[in-house]
Chain A
Amino acid sequence: MNFFEVFNLPRILNIDPKALERKFHELSRQYHPDYFTTAPEIEKQKALHMTAILNDAYRTLRHPERRVEYLLNIHGFKPDGSKAPKALLMEIFELNEQIEEVRSGTASPEQARSLAGLIREKRERFDAELQAASREWDSLVADGAPETKLKQQLEKLTEIVSESSYIRNLEGETH
Chain B
Amino acid sequence: MGKIVGIDLGTTNSLVAIVENGTPRVIPDSDGNSLVPSVIYFSENGEVLVGNRAKEKMVENPKHTIFSIKRFMGKGIEDVREDLPLLPFDVSPESEHIIRLRIFGRDYTPPELSAFVLRDLKRNAEAALGEEIKNAVITVPAYFNDAQRQATKDAGRIAGLDVLRIVNEPTAASLAYGLDKRKQGVIAVYDFGGGTFDVSILKLSEGIFEVLSTSGDTHLGGDDIDEQLIRLVLAELRHTPEMRGVPAIRKAVVKAKEELSAFETADIAVDALNYRRTITRSEFNALIQPIVERTLAPCRQALKDAGIKPSEVDEVVMVGGSTRIPLVRESVQSLFGRVPHTELNPDEVVALGAAVQADILAGGKRDMLLLDVTPLSLGIETMGGVMSKIIPRNSTIPASATEMYTTFAEGQTNVKIHVLQGERELVKDSRSLAQFDLKNIPPMPAGLPRIEVKFLIDADGILSVSAQEQRTGKYQSIEVKPTYGLTDEQVESMILDSFEYAEADIDARLVIEARIEAETVLNATARGLNNAEYEQLSSDEQSAINAAAQHLRETVKLEDHHAIRDAIERLSEATMRLAELIMNGAISKALKDKRVREVQ
Give A contacts to B, CB under 8 Å.
25, 28-29, 32-35, 37-38, 48-49, 51-53, 55-56, 58-59
Cβ-defined contact, A33 with B396, below 8 A: no
CB within 8 Å of A: which residues of B? 1, 164-165, 205-206, 208, 210, 357, 360-363, 366, 369-371, 392, 395-401, 456-459
Name the contact of A33 in the complex, choosing from B205, B362, B398 (C-beta under 8 A).
B398
User: Within the complex, which residue of A25, A35, A48 is in contact with B398, where a contact is CB–CB below 8 Å?
Assistant: A48
Determine the distance from Cα of A141 to Cα of B208 in the docked complex, in whole angstroms: 33
> Does the CB pair B208–A48 fall under 8 Å?
no
A48 adjacent to B399 (CB under 8 Å): no
Flag if B399 contacts A33 (CB, 8 Å). Answer: no
Complex Cα gap A25–B459 (Å): 16
Contact B399 A37 (CB under 8 A): no
Q: Which chain A residue shows the least CB distance to B360?
A: A34
Query: Within 8 Å CB of A59, what residues of B?
Result: 392, 395-396, 399
In the bound complex, how far is the Cα of B398 from the Cα of A59, in angstroms? 12
Contacts of B357 in A (CB 8 A): 34
Known: A38-B1, A59-B395. A33 touches B366 (CB 8 A): no
Contact B456 A48 (CB under 8 A): yes
Given contacts A25-B208, A52-B456, contact A34 B398 (CB under 8 A): no
Q: Quote the shortest CB–CB distance from B171 to chain A (angstroms).
A: 12
Contacts A/B (CB < 8 Å), 27 sampled:
A25-B206, A25-B208, A29-B369, A32-B371, A33-B398, A33-B458, A34-B361, A35-B363, A37-B1, A37-B165, A38-B1, A38-B362, A38-B363, A49-B400, A51-B398, A52-B399, A52-B400, A52-B456, A53-B400, A55-B395, A55-B397, A55-B398, A55-B399, A59-B392, A59-B395, A59-B396, A59-B399
Across the interface, name the chain A residue whose C-beta is closest to B1: A38
Residues of A within 8 A of B371 (CB): 28, 32
Tell me whether A56 and B400 are in contact in the complex, defined as CB-CB below 8 angstroms, given that A34-B370, A37-B362, A38-B363 are known contacts: yes
The distance from the CB of B458 to the nearest CB of chain A, in whole angstroms, is 6
Closest to A38 in B: B1
Assembly CA distance A33 to B357 (angstroms): 12
A107 to B401, CA, bound (A): 43
Chain A nearest CB from B309 CB (Å) reads: 16
Q: Which residues of A contact B401 (CB under 8 A)?
A: 56
Residues of A with C-beta under 8 A to B392? 59
Assembled-state Cα–Cα distance A49/B457 (Å): 10
Given A25-B205, A55-B398, 12 more pairs with CB closer than 8 A? A28-B369, A29-B208, A32-B369, A32-B371, A33-B398, A33-B458, A34-B165, A37-B164, A37-B361, A48-B456, A48-B459, A49-B398
Docked CA distance A68–B362 (Å): 40
A35: chain B residues at CB < 8 Å are 363, 366
* Residue of B with least CB distance to A59: B395
Nearest-neighbour CB distance to chain B for A75, whole angstroms, equals 18
Query: How far is it, in angstroms, between the C-alpha of A48 and the C-alpha of B205 when the chains are bound?
Result: 23
Q: Report the bound CA distance from A34 to B361 in whole Å.
A: 5
Whether A58 pairs with B369 at a CB distance below 8 angstroms is no
Q: Find chain A residues with CB under 8 A from B457 CB.
A: 52
**Cβ–Cβ < 8 Å partners of B1 in chain A:** 37-38
Interfacial chain A residues near B165, Cβ < 8 Å = 34, 37
Report chain A residues within 8 Å CB of B398: 33, 48-49, 51-52, 55
CA distance A48 to B464 in the complex (A): 12
> What residues of A have a CB within 8 angstroms of the CB of B396 in the complex?
55, 58-59
A53 to B208, CA, bound (A): 19
- A37–B398 CA distance with the chains assembled, in angstroms: 15
Q: Which of chain B's residues have a CB closer than 8 A to the CB of A29?
A: 208, 369
Residues from chain B with a CB closer than 8 A to the CB of A58 are 396
Contacts of A51 in B (CB 8 A): 398, 459
Cα separation A25 to B401 with both chains bound (whole Å)? 21
**With the chains together, A32 CA to B371 CA distance in Å?**
9
B208 partner residues in chain A, CB cutoff 8 A: 25, 28-29
Q: Assess A34 versus B399: contact at CB under 8 Å? Given A25-B205, A25-B208, A28-B208.
A: no
| Interfacial chain A residues near B397, Cβ < 8 Å | 55
CA distance in complex: A51, B395 (Å):
12
Assembled-state Cα–Cα distance A7/B444 (Å): 39
Residues in A whose Cβ lies below 8 Å from that of B400: 49, 52-53, 56
Q: Inside 8 A of B164's CB, which chain A residues have their CB?
A: 37
Contact, CB under 8 Å: B206 / A34: no
**CA A38 to CA B360, docked complex, whole Å:** 11
**CB contact between B459 and one of A34, A38, A53, A56 (< 8 Å): that residue:** A34
The interface residues of chain B lying within 8 Å CB-to-CB of A55 are 395-399
- B459 neighbours in A (Cβ, 8 Å): 32-34, 48, 51
B458 touches A48 (CB 8 A): yes
Contacts of A25 in B (CB 8 A): 205-206, 208, 210
- Nearest-neighbour CB distance to chain A for B305, whole angstroms, equals 13
Please measure, in the bound complex, the distance between the C-alpha atom of A175 and the C-alpha atom of B366, giving whole angstroms. Answer: 44
- In the complex the two chains form, what is the Cα distance from A28 to B205 in whole Å? 13
Give the most central of A33, A34, A38, A59: most B CB within 10 Å: A34
Tell me the complex Cα distance, A51–B458, Å: 9
- Shortest CB–CB separation between residue A15 and chain B, in angstroms? 17
Closest-by-CB residue of B relative to A29 is: B369
User: Which residue of A has the minimal Cβ distance to B208?
Assistant: A25
Query: How far apart are the CA atoms of A95 and B399 in the complex, in Å?
Result: 38
**Residues of B close to A34: CB separation below 8 A:** 165, 357, 360-361, 369-370, 459
What separation, in Å, do the CA atoms of A58 and B394 have in the docked complex? 13
List B contacts of A33 (CB < 8 A): 398, 458-459
Distance in Å: Cβ of A101 to nearest Cβ of chain B: 24
Instruction: List B contacts of A52 (CB < 8 A).
Output: 398-400, 456-457
Q: What residue in chain A is nearest B394 (Cβ atoms)?
A: A59
* CB-CB nearest in chain A for B361: A37
In the complex, chain A residues whose CB is within 8 Å of the CB of B362: 37-38
Q: How far is the CA of A34 from the CA of B165 in the complex (A)?
A: 9
Q: How far is the CB of A30 from chain B (nearest CB, A)?
A: 10
Q: How far is the CB of B357 from chain A (nearest CB, A)?
A: 8
Q: Using Cβ atoms and an 8 Å threshold, which residues of chain B touch A32?
A: 369, 371, 459
Give the chain A neighbours of B206 by CB distance below 8 A: 25
Closest Cβ neighbor of A53 among chain B residues = B400
Known A-B contacts A37-B164, A38-B1, A48-B459; A56 and B399 likewise in contact (beta carbons under 8 Å): yes
With A and B bound together, what is the CA distance between A134 and B366 in angstroms?
Answer: 39
CB distance from A169 to the nearest CB of B (A): 14
Rounded to whole angstroms, the CA-CA distance of A108 and B363 in the bound complex is: 63
A59–B164 Cα distance when bound, in Å, is: 26
In whole Å, how far is B175's beta carbon from the nearest beta carbon of chain A? Answer: 12
A28 to chain B: which residues have CB within 8 Å? 208, 369, 371
Give the one of B206, B366, B371 with max A CB within 10 A.
B371
> What is the bound-complex CA distance between A38 and B165, given in angstroms?
13
